[in-house]
Chain A
Amino acid sequence: MMREYLLGNAAIARGILEAGASVVTSYPGTPASEIVETLAPFTKKYDLHVEWSVNEKVALEVAIGASWTGTRAAAVMKHVGLNVAADPFMTLAYTGVRGGLVVISSDDPFCHSSQNEQDSRRYAQFACIPCIDPADPQEARDMTIYAFELSEELELPVLLRPTTRVSHARADVEVGEIEENRVKPEFLRNPVRWVALPAHARPRHSVLLEKQDAIKAALEKSPWNRLVLRGELGVIASGISGLYAEEAIKQLDVDISILRIGTFPPPEGLCSEFIMHVSKVMVIEELEPVLEEYVERAAREHNPDLDILGKRTGHIPREGELDPYIVRNAIANMADLPLVESPSLREASEILPPRPPALCPGCGHRAAYYAMREAFGKDAIFPSDIGCYTLAVDMGTIDTCLCMGASITLASGIRFSGEERDICCSIGDSTFLHTGLPGLLNAAYNKARITIAILDNSTTAMTGHQPHPGTGVTASGDKTKAVSLASLAKALGADFVETADPYDLKATIETFKRARDYHGLAVVITKQVCVINERRAGIKRNPFMVNENCTGCRECVEFGCPAIEFEEDCARINSLCTGCGVCAQICPSEAIEVVKVK
């Protein structure tokens, strides 16, 4: 065994390689993106197919196809991606798998980078399949390998559910050998399994229910649930909460029994032994009370007098993420030990300026939104979507953000309600290809009189610049067909499709005005490569500067570019300037000019 310092997601990738998987599919999403990024360089060496799929439903279905040939496959996504993949996910539990199939859904308690904090363990419960909940990068690697084996043993998909603090943790991880031999694929025709007709689905539902005992038996003897019996106070904790609890018990130096849970459903035997040993238990888990509900049920049978503390009693929060501080105080509270005060600093909240994430200096999205606002006016309605551009929320052109692809459809619904104001929605290129396509088709078919702005920066920027079908490059860096967004929009039924360069502000404003005045569905594609990718490609423009014409009107400052500062009574352009030149077009006094090359 070797030790490596690995990110949790890299540890999962390592597990996938060691397990000898043949196909890995994913749509980028924080905190899951680095799994496929880690695997991508190894595709040729290990005869692995790794893809950025168009969306999570597509990703899961591709992985299922691979599994049905007998090879191992993984589908990787963030928690909300599992909603998109929920349709195949639920029926997959009926059909089952042949080669091990691991669905990896990374949860994001506290919404570090997400629109909600749903708990994927509920999905596993819903589908009646096993769920594995790693506590750290080592477990993430070990459990990934185990999940493939368990999946084959049960002929069921297995859900691996890391959280942000596992996916984006780093630790010294013991790794093993990479399996170089891949299973030879062969699809075996078997309509009773693979064709989910009602006549086939009904018996498969019975098979799934009959498998529940086998799931419990397998998880009971797995090494992921650990019991230490001490005093009659107890803590039962799942995933990373178990590590927080162990640290707190050590720090407090208390005689508390602990059961750490890494599998769902939880192990019946260990749980009943624990529940009979303790008189009071605190259930510690992030998000939903999945474990707590199980403990409540088990206690009714094994120890009806058990005092259960957790979310229902208000001892553990149901929202946000847990941390060592919260868990320490919760356990100290149960053990009647003094709590530690939150060492909050009054000055920090009083004097510090906020530092929210913002669009980069020179970002084409900022210019596109400026042009959109100029053309449509402040009174129009601006549904938007998920991506970097949502960071422009202060520009007044982002009125909604619900889920991937919902900009076009929400805009349609707002129009169909009878709302008569102008509507211009915005969606990024990657998001458009993810789930925007059916929305556009629907808008065209049902005659929605709206403008759709596709903000095309030719990448999936927010999650770390992954390629997509519009870029002409695959996950493993191979060249492929680059799909034209304009041709797609036309094929889906839009008659008005125009492309504008947002750095040419006047032309972009004119394009948006034509779209606004068009009698039907209009699509405007604002095309400008992401500034981060430009910088990486070595493309440089001359920066701009403020000259003596500046009147201090602040028009450029209100544009919101981090490269523009306001000092005393004049604007100033700092070293962050990328030379996009948009502020020079906004300035009413010709006070911003390009720096001449000497």
Chain B
Amino acid sequence: MKIKTSECDIVVVGVGGQGVILISSIIGKAALKACLSVRSAETHGMAQRGGSVINHLRIGCVFGPMVPLGGADILLALEPAEALRYAHYLSKEGVALVNVKPVFPSTVTTGQSRYPPLEDILAPLERICMDIKTVDATKLAVKAGNPQTMNVVMLGVLSKYIPISEEILIESLSESVPAKFLEVNRRAFELGKSEIKA
């Protein structure tokens, strides 16, 4: 009896400074170009100082901006620990797209806490959702020519899963990054996209 109230619900998570807001904004603007209504909720303020960040993004939705717990079609994680932190947003039919390169929080660098091994992070994720795709997006971003484009690599990965055409996404990307960084960002997008087989 579940009735869909959003065409595609995405939760984008990561660490303050990784570019969560930028890619959410690229997807949102692309949705507008595709004539789809879009809602999103952002983390500003305190949480941006190296803290954990979550953005909600709802494509084809006219309700509130927050994705219901257990309702996300896609969890796009720019950092593996953050993927697990917000995994409870994923629906059973959902897909997790995870950059596997960790960013250690200060609690780990100062030795107060331990960063868990990747397999311990991924195991519970695999249990609760339909599919999980792991990508070393940070490595691919270096390959593209700039480690800062890691978020755009993940956008390329995501492009295979959302109801917006690649052309529109790239148009939105072009309008959102400075012209001199466009080439490297497009390479990053392509590298991400080619990680997912059709």
CA distance A391 to B48 in the complex (A): 12
A343-B88 in contact given A168-B42, A244-B63 (Cβ < 8 Å): yes
Q: How many interface residues does chain B have, given as a range? A: 35 or more
A113-B44 in contact given A5-B32, A328-B68, A355-B15 (Cβ < 8 Å): yes
CA distance A156 to B39 in the complex (A): 33
CB < 8 Å neighbour of A354 from B38, B44, B113, B120: B113
A560 part of interface (Cβ distance < 8 Å): yes
B128 part of interface (Cβ distance < 8 Å): yes
CB < 8 Å neighbour of B124 from A347, A356, A462: A347
A347-B84 in contact given A244-B63, A353-B114, A566-B109 (Cβ < 8 Å): yes
A171 part of interface (Cβ distance < 8 Å): yes
Q: A343 contacts which chain B residues (CB < 8 A)? A: 69-70, 88, 90, 128
B133 part of interface (Cβ distance < 8 Å): no
CB < 8 Å neighbour of B40 from A171, A250, A354: A171
Name the residue of chain A whose CB is nearest to the CB of B103: A355
A199 part of interface (Cβ distance < 8 Å): no
The answer on a CB contact under 8 Å between B84 and A354 is: no
CA distance A331 to B37 in the complex (A): 26
B29 part of interface (Cβ distance < 8 Å): yes
Name the residue of chain A whose CB is nearest to the CB of B114: A353
CB distance from B40 to the nearest CB of A (A): 4
A276 part of interface (Cβ distance < 8 Å): no
Q: How many interface residues does chain A have, given as a range? A: 35 or more
CB < 8 Å neighbour of B65 from A136, A554, A574: A136
CA distance A358 to B15 in the complex (A): 12
Name the residue of chain B whose CB is nearest to the CB of A354: B107
A597 part of interface (Cβ distance < 8 Å): no
Q: B28 contacts which chain A residues (CB < 8 A)? A: 5, 170
CA distance A352 to B103 in the complex (A): 12
Q: A463 contacts which chain B residues (CB < 8 A)? A: 45
B177 part of interface (Cβ distance < 8 Å): no
Q: A385 contacts which chain B residues (CB < 8 A)? A: none
A517 part of interface (Cβ distance < 8 Å): no
Q: B68 contacts which chain A residues (CB < 8 A)? A: 247, 323-325, 328
The answer on a CB contact under 8 Å between A358 and B106 is: yes
B49-57, B152-160, B178-186, B189-197: which one contacts chain A?
B49-57
B108 part of interface (Cβ distance < 8 Å): yes
CB distance from B140 to the nearest CB of A (A): 18
The A/B interface has a contact count, at CB < 8 Å, of 191
The answer on a CB contact under 8 Å between B51 and A325 is: no
Q: B47 contacts which chain A residues (CB < 8 A)? A: 112-113, 357
The answer on a CB contact under 8 Å between B81 and A30 is: no
A220 part of interface (Cβ distance < 8 Å): no
The answer on a CB contact under 8 Å between B49 and A246 is: no
Name the residue of chain B whose CB is nearest to the CB of A562: B106
CA distance A348 to B116 in the complex (A): 11
A351-B32 in contact given A30-B44, A356-B107, A391-B49 (Cβ < 8 Å): no
A240 part of interface (Cβ distance < 8 Å): yes
Q: CB-CB contacts of A6-39 with B at 8 A, as 1s and 0s?
A: 0100000000000000000000001100100000
A30-B45 in contact given A323-B66, A353-B105 (Cβ < 8 Å): yes
The answer on a CB contact under 8 Å between B39 and A170 is: yes
The answer on a CB contact under 8 Å between B49 and A357 is: yes
B1 part of interface (Cβ distance < 8 Å): yes
Q: A562 contacts which chain B residues (CB < 8 A)? A: 50, 106, 109
> Which of A180-197 touch B at CB < 8 Å?
none
Name the residue of chain B whose CB is nearest to the CB of A135: B64
The answer on a CB contact under 8 Å between B38 and A171 is: yes
CA distance A557 to B108 in the complex (A): 11
B198 part of interface (Cβ distance < 8 Å): no
A251 part of interface (Cβ distance < 8 Å): yes
A247-B44 in contact given A342-B88, A347-B84 (Cβ < 8 Å): no
CA distance A388 to B43 in the complex (A): 16
Q: A539 contacts which chain B residues (CB < 8 A)? A: none
A291 part of interface (Cβ distance < 8 Å): no
Q: B42 contacts which chain A residues (CB < 8 A)? A: 7, 168-170
Among A112, A136, A355, residue most surrounded by chain B Cβ atoms (within 10 Å) = A355
CA distance A317 to B121 in the complex (A): 32
The answer on a CB contact under 8 Å between B25 and A566 is: no
CA distance A388 to B38 in the complex (A): 33
CB distance from B76 to the nearest CB of A (A): 16
CB distance from A321 to the nearest CB of B (A): 9
The answer on a CB contact under 8 Å between B32 and A172 is: yes
Q: A354 contacts which chain B residues (CB < 8 A)? A: 105, 107, 113
Name the residue of chain B whose CB is nearest to the CB of A571: B109
The answer on a CB contact under 8 Å between A325 and B69 is: yes
The answer on a CB contact under 8 Å between A355 and B38 is: no
CA distance A169 to B65 in the complex (A): 6
Name the residue of chain B whose CB is nearest to the CB of A108: B45
CA distance A113 to B16 in the complex (A): 15
B143 part of interface (Cβ distance < 8 Å): no
Q: B45 contacts which chain A residues (CB < 8 A)? A: 30-31, 112-113, 462-463
CB < 8 Å neighbour of B44 from A31, A244, A342, A355: A31
Among B37, B41, B70, residue most surrounded by chain A Cβ atoms (within 10 Å) = B41
CB distance from A450 to the nearest CB of B (A): 28
Name the residue of chain A whose CB is nearest to the CB of B33: A5
Q: A170 contacts which chain B residues (CB < 8 A)? A: 24-25, 28, 38-42, 65
> Which of B127-162 touch A at CB < 8 Å?
128
CA distance A422 to B114 in the complex (A): 37
A348-B46 in contact given A171-B37, A171-B40, A251-B2 (Cβ < 8 Å): no
Q: A301 contacts which chain B residues (CB < 8 A)? A: none
Among A5, A165, A244, A353, residue most surrounded by chain B Cβ atoms (within 10 Å) = A353
CA distance A19 to B86 in the complex (A): 41
Name the residue of chain A whose CB is nearest to the CB of B50: A358
CB < 8 Å neighbour of B109 from A5, A113, A325, A565: A565
A5-B38 in contact given A31-B44, A112-B45, A246-B63 (Cβ < 8 Å): yes
Name the residue of chain B whose CB is nearest to the CB of A170: B40
The answer on a CB contact under 8 Å between B85 and A351 is: no
Can you give 20 contacting A-B residue pairs, CB < 8 Å? A5-B28, A5-B31, A5-B32, A112-B46, A168-B41, A169-B39, A169-B41, A169-B42, A170-B41, A250-B63, A345-B124, A347-B124, A352-B116, A353-B114, A357-B46, A357-B50, A358-B106, A558-B110, A562-B50, A564-B109
List B residues at the A interface (Cβ < 8 Å): 1-3, 5, 15-16, 24-25, 28-29, 31-32, 37-52, 63-71, 81-82, 84-85, 87-88, 90, 104-116, 120-121, 123-124, 128
Besides A168-B41, A243-B63, A462-B45, 17 more A-B contacts (Cβ < 8 Å) are A5-B28, A31-B44, A31-B45, A112-B46, A170-B38, A240-B64, A244-B64, A246-B63, A352-B85, A353-B104, A353-B107, A353-B108, A353-B113, A355-B15, A360-B50, A391-B49, A564-B109
| Ranked 9 nearest A-B pairs via Cβ | A113-B45, A30-B45, A357-B51, A353-B113, A357-B49, A169-B65, A247-B63, A324-B68, A355-B105
